[in-house]
């Protein structure tokens, strides 16, 4: 069969599935109720392949591929949950928990945090790595929202939501490596930035790094599900 055929058949975790040409492995897996863990991916935003939790194994290749950006091909055999992948996923989560100051008990997102949930799902019982305990700022200058860099995992969802959906591009990343942080405008206080106060970044943030001031002390679930709907409605117009 040639590459021009629109429908591909492939195997994910021993399950035969079909896909459209150009679809990502993650898309196809989720359509078929196969769970691949993700943190930086969010439906409605572009994909960056940065968190590496969605890495999968492809038969015949030693390289691990990020399911959120890797596209399907005919006859592909994908494994999403091998021992090797589980080991890497747990290590990546350990790295995240040790990188900044994630203290669930005092976090606004406790119980609704994607990082916390991910740790539970992946069977993370303790952190072997030394905690880095960096000293990071909390910017509460905005009248409605707060950014607590101690809880940020640099997934860049806020950056993408602000640039791609809101069109404001207030958020961006500054610095490099372990010293990277998300910033508003050219590293100005959030409160005096060009922020449009739409709050999309807060809703897409997977942890308690961005939160609504009015919700502190209350149950603070986030609702990022509006994105695909919003995109759909915009396309329909």
Q: Report d(CA 189, CA 63) in Å as an integer.
A: 42
Please identify which residue in 17, 29, 108, 154 interacts with other proteins, judged by CB under 8 A.
Answer: 154
Q: How far is the CB of 197 from other proteins (least distance, A)?
A: 25
The string over 43-80, giving b where at least 16 C-beta atoms fall within 10 Å of a residue's C-beta and e elsewhere, is ebbebbeebbbbbbbbeeeeebbbbbebbbeeebebeb
How many residues touch other proteins under the rule CB under 8 A: the total is 34
Number of H helices, E strands in the chain: 6, 10
Please identify which residue in 11, 13, 43, 49 interacts with other proteins, judged by CB under 8 A.
Answer: 49
Candidate ranges 2-10, 91-99, 135-143, 161-169; the one touching other proteins (CB under 8 A) = 91-99
Name which of residues 126 to 145 contact other proteins (CB under 8 A): 128-130, 132
Candidate ranges 15-23, 67-75, 105-113, 137-145; the one touching other proteins (CB under 8 A) = 67-75
User: Is the Cβ–Cβ distance between 89 and 54 less than 8 Å?
Assistant: no
User: Is the Cβ–Cβ distance between 180 and 186 less than 8 Å?
Assistant: no
Please identify which residue in 22, 75, 175, 228 interacts with other proteins, judged by CB under 8 A.
Answer: 175
Q: How far is the CB of 162 from other proteins (least distance, A)?
A: 15
Q: Is 95 in the site for other proteins (CB under 8 A)?
A: yes
Q: How far is the CB of 156 from other proteins (least distance, A)?
A: 8
Task: Report the half-sphere exposure of 146 (CA within 13 A, side-chain side).
Answer: 17
DSSP 112-170: T-HHHHHHHHTT-----SPP------EE--SSSEEEEGGG-----HHHHIIIIIIS---
Q: Is 163 in the site for other proteins (CB under 8 A)?
A: no
Can you give the binding site for other proteins, defined by CB under 8 A?
48-52, 55, 64, 66, 69-71, 84, 87-88, 91-92, 95-96, 98-99, 128-130, 132, 153-154, 172-173, 175-180
């Amino acid at each position: 069969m040639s590459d021009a055929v629109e429908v591909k058949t492939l195997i994910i975790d021993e399950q035969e599935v079909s896909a459209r040409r150009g679809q990502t492995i993650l898309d196809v897996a989720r359509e078929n109720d196969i769970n691949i863990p993700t943190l930086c991916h969010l439906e409605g935003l572009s994909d960056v392949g940065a968190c590496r939790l969605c890495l999968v194994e492809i038969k015949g290749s030693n390289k691990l591929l990020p399911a959120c950006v890797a596209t399907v091909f005919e006859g592909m055999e994908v494994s999403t949950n091998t021992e090797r992948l589980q080991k890497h996923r747990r290590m990546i989560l350990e790295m995240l928990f040790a990188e900044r100051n994630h203290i669930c008990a005092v976090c606004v997102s406790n119980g609704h945090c994607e990082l916390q949930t991910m740790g539970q799902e992946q069977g993370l019982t303790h952190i072997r790595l030394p905690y880095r305990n960096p000293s990071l700022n909390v910017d509460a200058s905005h009248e409605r929202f707060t950014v607590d860099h101690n809880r940020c995992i640099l997934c860049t969802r806020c950056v993408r939501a602000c640039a791609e959906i809101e069109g404001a591009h207030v958020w961006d990343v500054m610095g490099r490596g372990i010293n990277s942080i998300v910033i508003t405008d050219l590293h100005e206080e959030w409160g005096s930035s060009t922020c449009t106060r739409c709050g999309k970044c807060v809703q897409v943030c997977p942890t308690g790094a961005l939160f609504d001031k009015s919700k502190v002390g209350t149950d603070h679930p986030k609702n990022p599900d509006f994105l695909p709907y919003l995109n759909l409605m915009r396309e329909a117009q």
